[in-house]
Amino acid sequence: MRILIAEDDEVLADGLTRAMQQAGYAVDRVADGSEADTILKGGQPFDLIVLDIQLPKLDGFTVLRNLRERNNHVPVIILTARDSVEDRVKGLDLGADDYLSKPFNLQELEARTRALLRRGQCGTNPLLTCGSLTFDSIERRAAIDGKPLDLTTRELGVLEALMLRAGRVISKEQLLERIYSYSEEASSNAIEVYIHRLRKKIAPAGVTIRTIRGLGYVIDSLP
């Protein structure tokens, strides 16, 4: 899953980025509202936005208003150092899904993130299955017959992307977009390494990852 963090406080943004990456999310980070608005106008897919209200160039309220006027319903958590009722009401009225007042606890932000992502999965099952292999897209955990798999953050991202399209081909480029932020440099060779590792780890589940030459990969159960 991909998260956009719009925060101009460098220390806070660093902490948020590390925490979200350690939780298994691909994270993109911007330091002003204009850049956030431009990225969101471009239609880049995000599963959640963490949005500071007091951003330079374009404030968070305007970014949020523009986002909702484009009928983009991605969940948004607003961050504010101004703990006034008026600001909270304004943010919620503009379409924010939750808010946190600075300073806040990172564990609370992570919990609220999981809650919003879970809410966004309403109508769909967040537990992906393929054979005896399962992946909880909210808790970021994979298991075989209920026994947890030891996977790296990148491996979890690749496995999630494959299982979301189980039985269908997903390209290397699509996998790269799922697990790396736009500012990170990555090569298709990295995907090949993760696929190689995953094949070994998920083999006991009776699941395979097939290479479709020239197209990408597909995960499915062995017959």
Model confidence over 44-94: pLDDT tens digits?
A: 788 899 999 999 999 999 999 999 999 999 999 999 876 677 888 888 899
For 66, the token pair is 């523009």
CATH fold group of domain 127-221: Arc Repressor Mutant, subunit A (1.10.10)
Q: Residue 176 has what DSSP assignment? A: H
CB 202 within 8 A of CB 133: yes
pLDDT band, very low/low/confident/very high, at 155 (cuts 50, 70, 90): very high
Give residue 177's region: left, alpha or beta (phi > 0; psi -120 to 50). alpha
Q: Which helix (H) or strand (E) holds 48?
A: strand 48-52
**How confident is residue 159, by pLDDT bands cut at 50, 70 and 90?**
very high
Between the alpha carbon of residue 205 and those of residues 12, 130, 162, 165, 195, the distances in Å are 41, 8, 15, 18, 15
Mean pLDDT to the nearest integer, 32-43: 92
Backbone angles phi, psi at 19, to 5 degrees: -60, -45
Range of weakest confidence among 1-5, 8-12, 116-120: 116-120
Q: Do domains 2-120 and 127-221 have the same CATH topology?
A: no
Give the position of tokens 């290479």: 211
Structure tokens at 11: 């220390």
Domain edges within the chain = 2-120, 127-221
Q: Which pLDDT does position 121 carry in this prediction?
A: 57
Average pLDDT, the chain: 88
pLDDT in tens, 119-145: 765 445 678 899 899 998 878 889 999
Tell me the H-state helices in 28-105: 33-41, 60-69, 85-93
Sign, CA dihedral 66-124-149-161, equals: negative
Share of the chain above pLDDT 70, in %: 95
Non-local (6+) Cβ contacts of 80 within 8 A are: 52, 53, 54, 60, 87, 88, 91, 99, 100, 101, 102
How does 77-86 read in b/e, with b if 16+ C-beta sit within 10 Å? bbbbeeeeee
What is the pLDDT at residue 183?
A: 67
- Bridge partners of 78, per DSSP, are 51, 99
Within 70-152, residue ranges assigned H as helices are: 85-93, 106-120
Q: What is the pLDDT of residue 202?
A: 94
Nearest to 76 by CA among 90, 61, 96: 96
Torsion of CA 120, 46, 3, 59, to 10 degrees: -100
Amino acid (one-letter) located at 191: I
The residues, any chain, with a CB within 8 Å of residue 139's CB and separated by 6 or more, are: 114
Q: Which CATH number fits domain 2-120: 3.90.1300.10, 1.10.3720.10, 3.40.50.300, 3.40.50.2300?
A: 3.40.50.2300
